[in-house]
Structure 1
Amino acid sequence: MNNALVTGASGGIGKLIVKRLIEQDYFVIGVGRNEKSLRELSSLRNFDYIIADLSKRGVAKRIRRELEQRGVKKLDILINNAGFAIAKPLLEQSEEELEKLFKVNVIAPILLTKELSDMIPRGGKVVFVISAAAFVNTVDLPSYGAAKAALHYMAVNLEKELKSKNIYVIKVYPRQVATPFWHEKVPKGSISPEEVADVLLKAIKKNKSEVYVPAYVRLVKYLPRWPVFDYKFKF
């Protein structure tokens, strides 16, 4: 049986990805902070979970230890999906808020990939759920957009590094998605998490390097840097 690890598995896109993978006969380990939500998923066959806060120092090594203690020696797919945003001007964001945001959105996925890379076999996949915000100026979510731009940059370079190990990197760029991420203030035109999960799973099957959801979002890569996009909301 193939194994997969999904971060941000307790809700939104992550929860759907877990269910889709289980439907395809994967054994899935979900990582998240919401134990109640993860425990609900544990009623599914072929599912286990790890409670972890990706903003904490040393969390990648702890996740590695948890996997080893549970007898998981191989990961066919690693999906770095966890993320969150702060809807405040940069001058109002504290040092602690900025550190936590960049740890979860940028540093944790890179360190987790590094820590687990030797568990990923030849032909395995590492998925980064990034965002179209990597290519536009999201004025209401300035630190989030900056973090996603940083993750994009790192994922592009990590793709080259992992190629020598025959590990595929898949980068996913959705536009805003209707999930609890928005704290019940979902922007107009948001797409469904089901659409993102379905596109992501197809990309895994076809070994695509990058996918955009919807497909036309690809056009933002070719706009003048940096076009302004204002969500016009506050959490």
Structure 2
Amino acid sequence: MKNALVTGASGGIGKLIVKKLIEEGYFVIGVGRNEKALRELSTLENFDYIIMDLSEKEAAKRIRKALEQRSIGRLDLLINNAGFAIAKPLLEQDEDELERLFRVNAIAPIALTKELLDMIPKGGKVVFVISGVAFINSVDLPAYGASKAALHYLAMNLEKELKNRGISAIRIYPKQVATPFWKRVPKGAIPAEKVADAIIEAIHKNKSEVFVPFYIRMAKYFPGWPAFDYKFKF
């Protein structure tokens, strides 16, 4: 049985990915902060969970230790899905908020991949759930957009390093997704199921990058498209 670890597993896209991977025959370890939600998922067969706040500096090391305590020494699939946003102008955000946001959204995925690298065999896969907002300027979520742009840049370069080790990297760029991530779901948000399905398909077909929906790719080649100062409809 193959092993997979999914961050941000307690809800939204992550929760759906967990269920779909179990259906695919994986043993899945979910990582998240919401113990109640993860405990509910633990009723599923072939699932275990680790309670962890990825904004903590030692989170990656603690996750590794938890895996070792569970006698899990191999990860065929790592999905870096966790993320959050702060809907504030930059001048209203304090340093601690910014540091926490960048740590969860940009630093933790790289730190966790590095920490668990020796557990990932040749042929293994690492998925980074980024965002289409990495390519546009969001005046409502400036720090979030910047953190996702940072993750995009980091993941692009890490992909080359992983390839040298026989490990594939997959980058996922969804538009706004209808999940509890939002206090009020934006107009035009897509179902989380659509993103989860796209991730599973990308894993099967070993795609390096996926845009959900496909036209989000336009923002990559035409920075600022469809509008330079994009405002989410909260």
> How does the TM-score come out when normalised to structure 1?
0.97
**Residue type of the alignment partner of 1:188:** K
Distance 1:68 1:201 in 2: 26
Residue deviations 1:86-129, cap 9 Å, x none? 00000000111001000100111100000001100001000000
**Residue type of the alignment partner of 2:98:** L
Aligned residue for 2:111?
111
Aligned residue for 1:145?
145
In the alignment, structure 1 residue 157 sits paired with structure 2 residue 157: yes
Residues 187 and 233 in structure 2, CA contact (< 8 A), matched pair in contact too? no
Structure 1 stretches of 4+ moved >3 Å? none
Aligned residue for 2:187?
188
Q: Give the % identical residues.
A: 72
Distance 2:189 2:134 in 1: 17
- Summarize the alignment of residues 1-235 of structure 1 with structure 2, pairs less than 5 Å apart: 1-183=1-183, 185-225=184-224, 227-233=228-234
**Residue type of the alignment partner of 1:6:** V
**Residue type of the alignment partner of 1:8:** G
Residues 84 and 101 in structure 1, CA contact (< 8 A), matched pair in contact too? yes
Distance 1:223 1:58 in 2: 38
Distance 2:122 2:209 in 1: 19
Unaligned residue ranges in structure 2 (runs of 5+)? none
Distance 2:65 2:24 in 1: 26
Residue deviations 1:121-156, cap 9 Å, x none? 001000000000000001100000000000000000
**Residue type of the alignment partner of 1:230:** K
How many residue pairs get aligned? The number is: 232
Distance 1:164 1:181 in 2: 35
> Shift of the alpha carbon at 1:57?
1.2
Residue deviations 1:190-220, cap 9 Å, x none? 0000000000000001110000001111111
Residues 140 and 232 in structure 1, CA contact (< 8 A), matched pair in contact too? no
Distance 1:201 1:221 in 2: 22
> Shift of the alpha carbon at 1:7?
0.1
User: What's the C-alpha RMSD, in Å, of the aligned pairs?
Assistant: 0.8
> Shift of the alpha carbon at 1:225?
4.5
Unaligned residue ranges in structure 1 (runs of 5+)? none
Distance 1:154 1:168 in 2: 15
- The secondary structure found in structure 2 opposite 1:180 is coil
- The secondary structure found in structure 1 opposite 2:177 is coil
Residues 2 and 27 in structure 1, CA contact (< 8 A), matched pair in contact too? yes
> How does the TM-score come out when normalised to structure 2?
0.98
- The secondary structure found in structure 1 opposite 2:50 is strand
